[in-house]
């Protein structure tokens, strides 16, 4: 765990710095192919969210709100690299993403066009046009639907982990939330329950410093979300959420603990919400200097530079990756736009269990 910087006691917007980078973890370094996959996933996430938020939403093609994870992609991607998939009921991990974890959906195998159809309220969206944006899940991809009430996913994720315990498997439950959700009673109940029963949950906090317009200094009196871990008797770590390799390593350690039966871990990744709470919010309450500061720490650009420095990427390869993503998305958007809306008579089908 990081030593705390007690000097920054006069906290307010701007005072929350990313923690310094720790020594490398024990779980090994991703290979070259994995590194490139991580970059691709971060860029794909950024590109699809940019289209949704800055193009389709403004064209009036999106039904409902838009919540993006711009600037936070490294957290979902670094964590999703550790999710076991494709091995069946007693092998695959389960994930409870937050509304800023688009990358998790993509990496769990949800095609971009289905996500776009979801945002456009089409019949082929994940909720078949019954709900919009990130309010979706798909258990075939081991994705538990996001619960709008922030914090409510936490006891659900702990319950999933309890089923793994009861079945005697080494599966892991991944649980994502923001720093605002940590003030919720459900969050407390879920973490305490997981700690008492030593359940295999990896709790991942995207600390993007604003819960809508509430700065983290008005959310908690402790310096770090991970300071809460001790109160539950579980390990906690705070790390730089804009460095995908750091995220990868920290999540890897927590997953290994969980698989060994050593219980839950609380991970905090410090990052910044490079946008409003949702697409309609101009975030006028966030000091401009903060956006500028965190723009310089953009996780994608930092990672590109890192890979270039290692000789894994050059301008040509980057260009090719970007062209591939744009082409993929052109196709996905066209497909989604061609999809029908649900029939009004179908409104209630699938909304309640017996009608599914």
Partner 1 sequence: MSTVLRRSRKTPASRGEREPPPRGLLPDPPRPMQNPGLSRQQLREIHRFLCLNRLVEDRLSALYRQGQIHGGLYSSLGQEGISVGTAYALAPDDLLAPMIRNIGSLLVRGVAPLTLFLQFLARADAPTGGKDGTLHFDDLDKSIVGPISVLGTLIPVMTGAALAARMRGENRVALTYIGDGGTSTGDFHEGLNLAAVLNLPLILVVENNGYAYSTPTHRQFAVQSLAERGPAYGVASESIDGTDVLAVYAATRRAVERGRRGGGPTLLECRAFRRRGHAEHDDMRYVPKALLQAWEKRDPLDRLEGFLLHEGEATKKELRAAREEIGPALDEAARSALERPYPPPEETLRGVYHGTE
Question: Where do contacts with partner 1 occur on this chain (CB under 8 A)?
Answer: 183-189, 192-193, 195-196, 198, 218-222, 227-234
Backbone dihedral angles phi then psi of residue 283, each to the nearest 5 degrees: 55, 35
User: Is 198 within 8 Å of 261 (Cβ atoms)?
Assistant: yes
Nearer to partner 1, 145 or 181 (CB): 181
Q: In this structure, what DSSP letter does residue 52 have?
A: I
How much is the CA Rg of the chain, to the nearest whole Å? 20
CA 88/CA 84 separation, integer angstroms = 10
Nearest to 215 by CA among 282, 296, 287, 298: 287
Nearer to partner 1, 149 or 310 (CB): 149
Give the nearest distance from C-beta 318 to partner 1 in angstroms.
43
- Assess contact for 157 and 175: CB atoms under 8 A: yes
Q: Which is nearer to partner 1, 69 or 264 (CB)?
A: 264
CB 97 within 8 A of CB 146: yes
Contact in structure between 207 and 270 (CB atoms under 8 Å) = yes
Residue 143 is classified by DSSP as: B
What does the alpha-carbon distance between residue 329 and residue 323 come to, in Å, rounded to a whole number?
10
- DSSP label of 59: T
The least CB distance from residue 232 to partner 1, in Å, is 6
Contact at 8 Å (CB) between 38 and 77?
yes
94 vs 225, beta carbon nearer partner 1: 225
CB of 201 to partner 1, least distance (A): 13
**Which CB, 87 or 261, lies closer to partner 1?**
261
CB 70 within 8 A of CB 47: no
Q: Which of 277, 251, 216, 224 is nearest to 69 (CA)?
A: 277
Nearer to partner 1, 76 or 153 (CB): 153
Smallest separation (angstroms) from partner 1 to the CB of 183: 5
The distance of closest approach from Cβ of residue 238 to partner 1 in the complex, given in angstroms and rounded to an integer, is 14
User: Closer CB to partner 1, residue 159 or residue 231?
Assistant: 231
């Amino acid at each position: 765990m990081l030593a705390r910087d007690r000097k920054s006691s006069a906290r307010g917007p701007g005072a929350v710095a990313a923690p310094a980078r720790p020594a490398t973890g024990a779980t090994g370094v991703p290979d070259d192919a994995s590194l490139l996959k991580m970059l691709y996933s971060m860029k794909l996430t950024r590109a699809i969210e940019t289209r949704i938020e800055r193009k389709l939403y403004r064209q009036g093609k999106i039904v409902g709100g838009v919540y993006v994870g711009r600037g936070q992609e490294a957290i979902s991607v670094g964590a999703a690299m550790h999710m076991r998939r494709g091995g069946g009921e007693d092998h695959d991990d389960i994930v409870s993403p937050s509304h800023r974890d688009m990358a998790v959906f993509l990496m769990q195998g949800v095609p971009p066009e289905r996500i776009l159809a979801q945002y456009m309220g089409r019949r082929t969206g994940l909720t078949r046009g019954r709900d919009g944006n990130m309010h979706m899940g798909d258990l075939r991809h081991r994705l538990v639907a996001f619960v709008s009430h922030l914090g409510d996913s936490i006891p659900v994720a702990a319950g999933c982990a309890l089923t793994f315990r009861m079945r005697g498997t080494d599966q892991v439950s991944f649980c994502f939330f923001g720093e605002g959700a940590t003030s919720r009673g459900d969050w407390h109940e879920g973490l305490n329950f997981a700690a008492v029963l030593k359940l295999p949950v990896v709790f991942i906090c995207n600390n993007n410093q604003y819960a809508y317009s509430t700065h983290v200094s008005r959310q908690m009196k402790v310096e770090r979300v991970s300071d809460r871990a001790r109160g539950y008797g579980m390990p906690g770590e705070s790390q730089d959420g804009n460095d995908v390799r750091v995220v990868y390593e920290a999540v890897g350690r927590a997953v290994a603990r969980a698989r060994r039966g050593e219980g839950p871990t609380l991970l905090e990744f410090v990052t910044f919400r490079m946008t409003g709470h949702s697409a309609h919010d101009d975030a006028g309450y966030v000091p401009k200097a903060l956006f500028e500061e965190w723009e310089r720490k953009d996780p994608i650009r930092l990672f590109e530079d890192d890979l270039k420095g290692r000789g894994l990427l050059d301008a040509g390869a980057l260009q090719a990756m970007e062209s591939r993503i744009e082409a993929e998305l052109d196709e996905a958007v066209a497909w989604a736009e061609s999809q029908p809306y649900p029939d009004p008579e179908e409104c209630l089908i699938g909304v309640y269990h017996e009608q599914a």
